[in-house]
Structure 1
Amino acid sequence: MRLASLGSWLYARAENVLAAMLVAMFAAFLLQIVFRYLLNLPVGWTNEISVVLWIWIVLFGAAFVVREEEEIRFDLIYAAAGPTARRAMFLVSAAALVALYGISFPAVVDYVTFMKVERTAYLDIRFDWLFSIYLVFVMAVIVRYLWLAWQSLFGSAPDEFDPAKAGSGV
């Protein structure tokens, strides 16, 4: 029970971080409009911060906030399959994701660490810092799918998709 409450608390904080990044990106976007069209002083840093925050929002959100049932996927065959077939399809997919991300991880680490030589044009952010979120994303995906595969293997089969319950995640 204590682990579940800690997980809920961490999930809520991840949502808070994601919301703060979205607010900051929106504020930078509004500043860009004000500087460019009202003050006639185009600035580049607002565009750069918007792009950086968008990268972080997508990858941080996919790593820590978006739940498995909220993922977008093509699932006509999966939804029509029975519990045993769904379990097998999920395990094959999870094994493929873990293997592909795991195999590519050393090269990704090398590339991200190599990018310390480059910096963004306006904010002077090192690219290794900027793209470090991708390393976090890859590790989170690997851990998530190992955990989900374990649950699928030793627990119940993945749930059948119910389009009546599809929504925004709320």
Structure 2
Amino acid sequence: MKQTGGWLYRRAENILAAMLALMFAAFLLQIVFRYVLNLPIGWTNEISVILWIWLVLFGAAFVVREEEEIRFDLIYSAVGAKARRVMFLISAFALIVLYAVSFPAVWDYVTFMRVEKTAYLKIRFDWLYSIYIVFVIAIIARYLWLSWQAMFGKAPEEFDPTKAGSGV
């Protein structure tokens, strides 16, 4: 199971890298067409925005690990393991409840957006914003799993600023 999870994680990273490369290529193409050929095109801007939305939400759902999240942890890192566990469980409970309560409205909005399309590429907005539904489901599942671990397993790790990195 751990081996399959690692393989899926690496493929998610590959997808993110491909999206970033496509976004960069569209950005460069936009510059060439606008400033070199004096022929502005709009679809490159549209694809860049779409890829940015998908990059952020797909990455947050499947690639960014809990310890890589940005947070203000002055109090969190100063307390013991039991207090960290309680603080984490309160935060996780709040996130799970808020995302779960908002999910029906999110679903309604995203499915309603099938009537609209993007200006240049004619991509339906429900397809474009469907990544947010995936994101919400993934975050709820992640925090349910992490809450289970915090309650019955080990406490969340103490943050060590000397080991902070960029995730590489």
Deviations 1:111-165 (A, max 9, x none): 0000001110000000000000000000000000000000000011100000011
Deviations 1:41-64 (A, max 9, x none): 000000000000000000000000
* 1:19-98 map, 5 Å: 19-98=17-96
Cα distance in 1, alignment partners of residues 166 and 139 from structure 2: 21
Q: Which runs of 5+ in 1 are unaligned?
A: none
Alpha-carbon RMSD across the aligned residues, in angstroms, is: 0.4
Q: Residue 107 of structure 1 corresponds to which residue in structure 2?
A: 105
Q: Which runs of 5+ in 2 are unaligned?
A: none
Q: Residue 137 of structure 2 corresponds to which residue in structure 1?
A: 139
- Give the partner amino acid of 1:125: I
Secondary structure of the 2:75 match is: helix
Query: TM-score normalised to the size of structure 1?
Result: 0.98
Q: Residue 8 of structure 2 corresponds to which residue in structure 1?
A: 10
How many aligned positions are there? 168
Q: How far off is 1:19 after superposition?
A: 0.3
Q: How far off is 1:169 after superposition?
A: 0.7
- Give the partner amino acid of 1:10: L
Cα distance in 2, alignment partners of residues 167 and 132 from structure 1: 31
- Give the partner amino acid of 1:142: I
Cα distance in 2, alignment partners of residues 118 and 165 from structure 1: 46
- Give the partner amino acid of 2:153: G
Consecutive aligned runs of 4 or more in structure 1 exceeding 4 Å deviation: none
Cα distance in 2, alignment partners of residues 27 and 161 from structure 1: 37
Deviations 1:16-74 (A, max 9, x none): 00000000000000000000000000000000000000000000000000000000001
